[in-house]
Amino acid sequence: MMKTIFLPFIFVLAGAVQLAYGQGEALFKAKCNTCHMVDKNSTGPLLKGVKQKWADAGEGELLYKWVTNSKALIEGGSSKMAAAIKDFSASEMPPQQATNAEIDQILDYVDNYVAAPAAASPTAAAGATAAPEVKIVPNYEENLNIFYALLAVTLVLILAILMLTNSIMSLIKSDVFKNKLKEKEDKDGSNLGKIITMLVVGLGLLVPMDTFALEFVSGGESKEKSLWLIVENGDIYALLIINFLLLFVVFYLKRLFNSFYRMAYPETVKTRKEKTKKVTKVLTDAVAIEDEASILMDHEYDGIRELDNNLPPWWVWGFYITIFFAIIYLLNYHVFKTSDLQEVAYKKEMAQAQKDIDAYLKSQAMNVDETNVTKLDDATALAEGKNIFVTNCAVCHKENASGDIGPNLTDKFWIYGNDIKDVFKTVKNGTPNGMPDHASKLNPIQLQQVSSFILSLKPVAGKEPQGKEVK
């Protein structure tokens, strides 16, 4: 049973793997096929296993930068793998517009690529041994359990049919039904009684017939030799169809019994209708048609006269409830001020949320902000800060921080201050002249690392100075 439960998940997982493989193939053909071949060197080097090589060299993350901008990675001098591969071809690898996920799909496709086998010659094909035919054998043990369940449903449906048939036969044999049936025959001049009797007797005769006796044909041999009955998949489907047919018979007999009962005891139906009228009266408070003269108003227009009906009770009581609710609301929010209004409640929720955020950051050792940040000097933190800078800041300041769209960060001129707290605040919140905030992308520790890295940079010639000189 567990195999059957997990089988759909296995199919879904296999489908996802196949889809990712197909996407990698499409991306390879669109972006890499010009210079690279899957199974050998070409204008570009063989890509099979390249992902593992960069990972073994400790530069797994730099591989993505190599694909998206190889020239920048070579000029930065931070990658040994880039320096080793740069002279493979005289042509320079152009930058690729691809995400990390797309690069992974391309490399996974290359690593898992298997060349199609060559077509066999006619001679070899003639001499080859035919593959044995695979025969799928059903899970007979599971089929037997399903058979037990369906058989139980079948027995319940047959019991229901017997009970309904017996009830219909008893009703037909009663004197009350016979008299009502005779009155209807005298009135309509039909043989309705004979037709009904024949129909019910026929349904009753269907029950003991062999229609519901299942005979299962033995199929393939069962793997479980202890099973006393071998149930094929076709037998399960057949039993399902029989159950649906029996269910239809049950509903039909129930409807037939209700029709006969209403024919024999019409007073019950009349009483039920009277109860329905009472419910309608409670809901609408409408006056009966025969009593409408009592609420007829005097004025008329073009023969159209108006009735002075009462409002529906449900509407009146709903109106009273709204008045009661308004009084309670006024006393609660404006008189006694037991509960907070929306603005006050919002401020309290925001304050509590900030407390929760501070507590979380403190628990994660990330309670660093512009009021308590300190400059980091250890090599590990500065290396992390450099990686963060290259990923997030180099596009505007260049990788050596000499300035491009943004100012030169290595000179003595600063626009917003060169203290660690000033730099942290600038990186975190951004600036009015176009620099975006990075608090949404970096956590406080990362902001501290990149700020410390900026302050550790040595002067590099670049963009003209901006801001005030700090000595």
The confidence band for 341, taking pLDDT boundaries of 50, 70 and 90, is very high
Average pLDDT of 154-159? 92
Please give the structure tokens belonging to residue 40.
Answer: 């050998």
Q: Report the pLDDT value the prediction gives residue 389, as an integer from 0 to 100.
A: 93
Distance, C-alpha 255 to centroid of its chain: 42
**Which of 62, 93, 239, 83 is closest to 158 using CA atoms?**
239
395, HSE (Cβ side, Cα atoms, 13 Å): 8
Average pLDDT of 280-293? 79
| Between 228 and 402, the higher pLDDT residue | 402
Which range has the top average pLDDT, 154-158, 288-292, 302-306? 154-158
Query: What pLDDT, in 10s, does the model give residues 394-405?
Result: 999 999 999 988
- In contact, 169 and 261? CB cutoff 8 Å: no
End-to-end CA distance of the chain: 77
- For the domain covering 379-469, report its CATH number: 1.10.760.10
Q: Report the pLDDT value the prediction gives residue 128, as an integer from 0 to 100.
A: 42
Domain 7-111: give its CATH superfamily: Cytochrome c-like domain (1.10.760.10)
- In contact, 380 and 373? CB cutoff 8 Å: no
Which range has the top average pLDDT, 42-46, 115-119, 271-275, 424-428? 424-428
| Between 81 and 352, the higher pLDDT residue | 352
The confidence band for 34, taking pLDDT boundaries of 50, 70 and 90, is low
The pLDDT of residue 242 is above 90: yes
Contacts of 82 (CB under 8 A, 6+ apart): 62, 66, 70, 73, 74
Q: Report the pLDDT value the prediction gives residue 275, as an integer from 0 to 100.
A: 62
The pLDDT of residue 387 is above 90: yes
The pLDDT of residue 31 is above 50: yes
Query: What pLDDT, in 10s, does the model give residues 182-222?
Result: 776 666 555 555 555 555 555 554 544 444 444 444 444 44
What pTM does this model have? 0.31
Query: What pLDDT, in 10s, does the model give residues 417-470?
Result: 889 999 999 999 999 888 899 988 999 999 999 999 999 999 999 899 888 888
Amino acid 198 reads M
Query: What pLDDT, in 10s, does the model give residues 135-146?
Result: 566 777 788 888
Contacts of 2 (CB under 8 A, 6+ apart): none
The pLDDT of residue 384 is above 90: yes
- In contact, 232 and 216? CB cutoff 8 Å: yes
Amino acid 298 reads D
Q: Determine the Cα–Cα distance for residues 314 and 282; give it in Å rounded to an integer.
A: 8
Q: Report the pLDDT value the prediction gives residue 409, as an integer from 0 to 100.
A: 92
Query: What pLDDT, in 10s, does the model give residues 38-73?
Result: 777 766 777 777 778 878 888 878 878 877 887 787
160, HSE (Cβ side, Cα atoms, 13 Å): 17
Q: Report the pLDDT value the prediction gives residue 45, as an integer from 0 to 100.
A: 79
Q: Report the pLDDT value the prediction gives residue 185, as an integer from 0 to 100.
A: 63
Contacts of 440 (CB under 8 A, 6+ apart): none
Q: Report the pLDDT value the prediction gives residue 426, as an integer from 0 to 100.
A: 92
The confidence band for 224, taking pLDDT boundaries of 50, 70 and 90, is very low
Q: List Cα–Cα distances, 459 to 166, 381, 450, in angstroms.
A: 103, 20, 17
Q: Determine the Cα–Cα distance for residues 292 and 305; give it in Å rounded to an integer.
A: 11
